[in-house]
Amino acid sequence: MGTRRSSGRKVLDLIEAGRKIADVARDLGISDQTIYTWRRQRRRSSLSMLTPMGLEKTAVVS
């Protein structure tokens, strides 16, 4: 059996493939809010990997 992390990843992959959050949540017996939370966490972790540490608020000089 997979871990909770891999299960969440699979759920988010279904959403990104076009399945509706409400449908996936109902099919799996979890709340749609749980899926929204997982999606928000994934987006935040993806953004933190793209942003160099300490440079989050650097001004652009033209």
Instruction: Give 3-58 pLDDT, tens digit per residue.
Output: 566 678 899 999 999 999 999 999 999 999 999 999 999 888 877 666 565 555 55
Q: What is the pLDDT of residue 52?
A: 60
| Domain ranges for the chain | 4-50
Buried b (16+ CB within 10 A) or exposed e, 34-58: ebeebbeeeeeeeeeeeeeeeeeee
pLDDT at 58: 54
Instruction: Give CA–CA dist 37/61, Å, rounded.
Output: 36
CATH topology of domain 4-50: Arc Repressor Mutant, subunit A (1.10.10)
In whole angstroms, give the CA distance from residue 36 to residue 9: 12
Cβ distance 25 to 35 under 8 Å? Answer: yes
pLDDT at 1 over 50: no
Decide if 35 contacts 19 (C-beta within 8 A).
Answer: no
* pLDDT of res. 49: 67
φ/ψ of 32, rounded to 5, equals -65, -30
